[in-house]
Structure 1
Amino acid sequence: MSLTSRALVRRLIPALCAAALLADPSGAAAQGVAGPYLAAEQAARRGDLQAAAAQYAEALARDPQNTMLLERALMHRLAAGSVGPAVALARRMDAVGGGRAGEHLAAITLAADALMRGEPGKAGGVLEGEVDAENGFVGALMRPWAVFATGETELALEMMREVEDGGIAGPAGRYLAAFHGGLMLAAIGDDAGAVAAFERAREGAGAGTRRLVRAQAVSLARLGRVEEAVEVLETWLTRSYSDPQITRLRREIAEGAQPEPIVADAAQGAAEALYGLSRYLVRGPNRLVGLGYVRLAAHLRPDFIDAHLLLAEQMVQAEQYELAVRSYDAIPEDAAEALDARIGRAAALEGEEKVDEAVQALRAAIARWPREIDAHRALADLLRRHSRFEEAAEAYDGAIALIDTPENRHWPLFYQRGITLERSKQWARAEEDFRKALELEPDQPLVLNYLGYSWVEMGRNLDEAQAMIEKAVEQRPEDGYIVDSLGWVLYRLGKFEQAVEHLGRAVELRPVDPVINDHYGDALWMVGRRVEAEFQWNRALSFDPEEEVVERIDRKLEFGLDTVLAEEAAAGRPAIIGQTGETATDNDGG
């Protein structure tokens, strides 16, 4: 099916669904369901969950027996954060049944609400059917917490261990169950047992997550094993540029503090289960369910800052920038997560095209947290994205100045600063940074590609440059941009037949990139396939290239590449290495 056909089908689906609603013998047409239904579908597609929830609710009010509308209304109410109305819809879904996804979300919603209202027995009863259901892992994690809330601690721990041993959701499920078993043990003061459970969790989760590392360090500190706790936190910190939350915890523990466990009761434990799974779901096809989980997590634990940060991040992804800014602004300034919130807020402002305001916000963050690499890097990345390369290089300078001894994890900072230096005509410093990045991360394909391509553009180190880019292609054969770089390097070296092969492959990988299509056209011209070359140049024009690319393609189409190359050669910009006076440099990309 062509792209056009698929697009047409996507546009027709809401209309076809509306037609089905109108054909419903219950009289939906007379009640005017189609209008609010189509409005809900449109709002959902543009990411406006609140509008979608309101319109689905309106459609449901006009056709109360329609279980499909009930399910969609529930999912969108919950995802939008309207937990009270979602609970009412969940009760209706529980009474009448419906689609599996709707029934599942209804059960989880009712269980969370029961825990919130201090009715753990009711929550456990609702969740009992979820444990064995398809996609019922969240129910399997929450049910022991419901039992824990009744005071049956040993039974709750036994149930959680059964979830861990049963492998309901594979290795990830075992890790989460071990983690929650540790949280239960820590909550009752058995920190030794908690540490053992957290160790099992780390065996299944590699380096683990920030919350697992935090929980393990807290239990170690409460046992008086301060050096081990600090070591756990320092190992985590070696994986990131900076982490204010973990850095603060490390300082407090080193100074003798014994922080409280990260989960104190069953409601917080259930919130942890919902949040842990939502982090995976919100980035996949079950995004709405994931958003519902994290909303319930925040409902069960209103001070759950990580949940609020995840919600704000998802609002940015949905381009609901104003709501995201408000969510980030709600994070307390004295919270360990405050810097994450300020960086996220700047991303939301950037999404609103308020770039100067975002820059100002990040400069204020640097003033507030001058020793945090992430603050400097966030500003540098923002400036680089908007081609403010000299300012970006200065911001990267600030980040790199905070590094005592560069390690493998720091290679992106040198690579990114190298890009900004190259773009701001500071090649000597840029080359140093690219070499430093390769010293820290040997054979890194992005760095190999950028440095090798830059050398070819300058006519330097040609054999080494080609070898670098070939090595990058070996590692990323499906990366159209890197394959294009190899093809363009071969073109610049006068190896036109080989260039055609690789540039053709690059076009297959990135069919709508204007520069890659333009490059392919040039190579086709040089091997005598001139009609095909003109076709590729016209394709490139259809993909909205930059103005200077448009001008050059227009001249090629009117006068031919030979004439354009001769004109450029006269300006002293050789395009084919080793040839002078006949060809000229093309600076368009790669």
Structure 2
Amino acid sequence: MALTAAPLTTGAALALPQLAQETPPRHRPADRETPAAPAAPAPELRGLSGPYLAARQAAIENDYATAANYFLQAMAQDDTDAFLQDSALVALISAGEMERAGALAVTMSDQGRATELARLMQRSELAKAERWQDLVNAVDTAPPPPAGDAALPGGADLLDKMVRAWALLGAGNARQSLSAFEELGKVRGARPMVNYHLALAKAKVGDYEGAEQLLADPNTGAHILGVIARAQILSQLERNQDAVAMLEGTPGFAEEPQLVSLRDRLARGETLPFDSIRTPADGIAQVYLTFASVLASNDDPDPLALIHARLATYLAPDMGEARLVTAQLLQGFGQFDLAEQEFEALRELGEMRPMAELARIDALTRAERLPDAEKAALSLTSAYPDLPQGWIALGDLLRQQDKFAQAVPAYDKALALIGADAGEARWFPLYARGIALERAGQFPKAEADFREALKLRPDSAQVLNYLGYSLVDRNEKLDEALQLIQRAVDLRPDDGYILDSLAWAYYRLGRYDEAVAPMERAVSAMASDPLVNDHMGDIYWMTGRHREAEIQWHRALSLKPETEAETHRIRVKLDRGLGAVLAEEKANGGTLPMPRPAADAPRD
């Protein structure tokens, strides 16, 4: 596998948050989140075993700050254990506590127990202090690193030697630095990555022609940092038009504000400075970033990816790409509060990236952190008000929190931005807005959206089902509703929600015997859904199977219906039967009166 620098999207999923529910309106989950209490500081534990075990548990849960504190507590009992020291160092760097990590690395070195990670931290400190010759000497006198990861050609040895090459440049030995990079390019599989850094080094010393020749190779420069560097280099060579063409031909160009801004500046005739690398420390930061990106490229990222990303950010705090990779890794490890610090830093740098933000919103949503996701979506729509995907994401998040009336304007904005002639691109926001309108009690408008969505995608089972069930639930156009749902069943014959809709349509039409089979299939597919079990009870009752109906109602109660009204209705059916409930609802305009609160019940 060839090493490459960070890809253009740095691993951010381009897919939009999957937020439109495919279930009928009464089947939607509550989607409510109990606010998390602020994390308490790690309690002090006595002895060695207590803190050590607590640290191990925190590390397993990726709770880096807590793990670091417990490892340090354990070290207070035994400050000679190299394993405890290295574990604490891993946790401190992962948590972003770089000053404490640096101090611990010095202690480990002074005690003669420096690990590979401790040496890496110390080299980063030397680079940050621009002690370039000391950094060269540190690499030259260090013991050989352990065998590298199979995914990393050259492994830790390659990383050390690339750091050394940048340090040579910092020490004023440009010729030796470039020669070192050229020699490293001979490592099997490492040439694209090494050539990228060689190009940066050449540009740093003014050899723009040589740098451009290297970056023109897609294997070397086809990632966002490479594209930016090449645009700056072309501008220094007075080739602004070529830079504009290169930028506009980059996949994903329109979704990357940095690239669009560069294009606009170039088109105005501005000569861009080469500031992709201001000091060799920036080059070393990009070495760490490249290794972080490679280690994070699998579905299960290597924990070392976060270590390298943190070191990159430490050396180059204003390198947005390093902060983005760090934030995405933290988010993937479930450390959303730490990730938010990095995303906030990106906003302060003015480097919020829309596609990465959409991926972040999606991850927060899947983690059921809906308020955080909504906050991120609001920030995205504020920063990029002309991005329809941002408004769709915001609408979906509002809808998932039952803020249906608030979701509608967000979808309105998205559809206006997409345009009336966009065809298929309008399908999803029309469907999603239809759901929000239906749930907000504006069914005529919702129906219009569903029908418009069906014109764009006539075989959409979810739209057919949602519209059909909505009509059934309102007791309107029942014959058409049945046809819509039957088409949905034909398309997705094993979908429990759609089978429930079909059975309920038969029920509304008084075709109780025909309703039994699809409802039993729905219960089989969705045994833990309270509403489906409740429906099964109603159908059994209407076919004379009263004992079986009561069993289903009891089961529905045990599964905790979504609303208090649904719970009350089931209890009344168990007490007086479905016939009495229907009669009382008919006498009260279609609703079953709720019981009066007790006289001593607390009032709002």
Residues 365-514 of structure 1 aligned to structure 2 (within 5 Å): 370-373=385-388, 376-377=391-392, 379-403=394-418, 406=422, 412-431=428-447, 433-434=449-450, 450=466, 453-454=469-470, 457=473, 459=478, 460-468=480-488, 470-471=490-491, 473=492, 483-492=495-504, 493=506, 494-507=514-527, 514=530
How far does residue 105 in structure 1 lie from its aligned partner after superposition? Answer: 4.8
User: Contact (CA 8 Å) 1:76, 1:288: kept in 2 or not?
Assistant: no
| Shift in CA distance, 97/516, structure 1 to aligned 2, threshold 3 Å | farther
Across the two proteins, how many residue pairs are aligned to each other? Answer: 508
User: Contact (CA 8 Å) 2:296, 2:329: kept in 1 or not?
Assistant: no
**Amino acid aligned to 2:496:** D
Instruction: Say yes or no: does 1:72 pair with 2:72.
Output: no
How far does residue 126 in structure 1 lie from its aligned partner after superposition? Answer: 6.0
Q: Aligned partners of 1:532, 1:122: CA distance in 2, in Å? A: 79
How far does residue 353 in structure 1 lie from its aligned partner after superposition? Answer: 9.6
Q: Tell me the SS of whatever aligns to 1:84.
A: helix
Instruction: Say yes or no: does 1:541 pair with 2:558.
Output: yes
| Shift in CA distance, 537/160, structure 1 to aligned 2, threshold 3 Å | farther
User: Contact (CA 8 Å) 1:44, 1:52: kept in 2 or not?
Assistant: yes
Q: Tell me the SS of whatever aligns to 1:402.
A: helix
Structure number with greater Rg is 2
Q: Aligned partners of 2:549, 2:298: CA distance in 1, in Å? A: 41
Q: Aligned partners of 2:258, 2:539: CA distance in 1, in Å? A: 53
Residues 521-560 of structure 1 aligned to structure 2 (within 5 Å): 534=551, 537-538=554-555, 541-542=558-559, 545-558=562-575
User: Contact (CA 8 Å) 1:366, 1:376: kept in 2 or not?
Assistant: yes
Q: Aligned partners of 2:569, 2:298: CA distance in 1, in Å? A: 41
Instruction: Say yes or no: does 1:256 pair with 2:273.
Output: no
Q: Tell me the SS of whatever aligns to 1:302.
A: coil
In structure 2, the partner of 1:197 is 217
Instruction: Say yes or no: does 1:299 pair with 2:319.
Output: no
What CA deviation, in whole Å up to 9, does each residue of 1:500-528 have, x standing for no partner? 33442344xxx5x5556656766787896
| Shift in CA distance, 392/211, structure 1 to aligned 2, threshold 3 Å | farther
How far does residue 298 in structure 1 lie from its aligned partner after superposition? Answer: 0.6
User: Contact (CA 8 Å) 1:186, 1:194: kept in 2 or not?
Assistant: no
User: Contact (CA 8 Å) 1:281, 1:290: kept in 2 or not?
Assistant: yes
What CA deviation, in whole Å up to 9, does each residue of 1:289-319 have, x standing for no partner? 4432322111121112243355556777888
What CA deviation, in whole Å up to 9, does each residue of 1:311-332 have, x standing for no partner? 5567778887776666555456
Q: Give the alignment's Cα RMSD to 1 decimal.
A: 5.3
In structure 2, the partner of 1:244 is 257
User: Contact (CA 8 Å) 2:427, 2:456: kept in 1 or not?
Assistant: yes
Q: Aligned partners of 1:37, 1:70: CA distance in 2, in Å? A: 11
**Amino acid aligned to 1:164:** G
User: Contact (CA 8 Å) 2:533, 2:556: kept in 1 or not?
Assistant: yes
Q: Aligned partners of 1:540, 1:158: CA distance in 2, in Å? A: 72
In structure 2, the partner of 1:231 is 248
Q: Tell me the SS of whatever aligns to 1:164.
A: coil
Q: Which range moves more in the overlay, 459-468 or 362-371? A: 362-371
In structure 2, the partner of 1:164 is 189
| Shift in CA distance, 221/466, structure 1 to aligned 2, threshold 3 Å | farther
Q: Which range moves more in the overlay, 537-546 or 411-420? A: 537-546
How far does residue 465 in structure 1 lie from its aligned partner after superposition? Answer: 3.7
User: Contact (CA 8 Å) 2:530, 2:555: kept in 1 or not?
Assistant: no
Q: Aligned partners of 1:256, 1:196: CA distance in 2, in Å? A: 22
In structure 1, the partner of 2:47 is 32
- Unaligned stretches of 5+ in structure 2? 1-44, 169-175, 507-513, 592-604
- Unaligned stretches of 5+ in structure 1? 1-28, 167-173, 203-208, 478-482, 575-590
| Shift in CA distance, 559/120, structure 1 to aligned 2, threshold 3 Å | farther
User: Contact (CA 8 Å) 1:282, 1:289: kept in 2 or not?
Assistant: no
User: Contact (CA 8 Å) 1:194, 1:219: kept in 2 or not?
Assistant: no
TM-score (normalizing by structure 2):
0.64
Larger helix fraction of residues:
1
How far does residue 535 in structure 1 lie from its aligned partner after superposition? Answer: 6.3
Instruction: Say yes or no: does 1:335 pair with 2:355.
Output: no
TM-score (normalizing by structure 1):
0.66
User: Contact (CA 8 Å) 2:313, 2:322: kept in 1 or not?
Assistant: yes
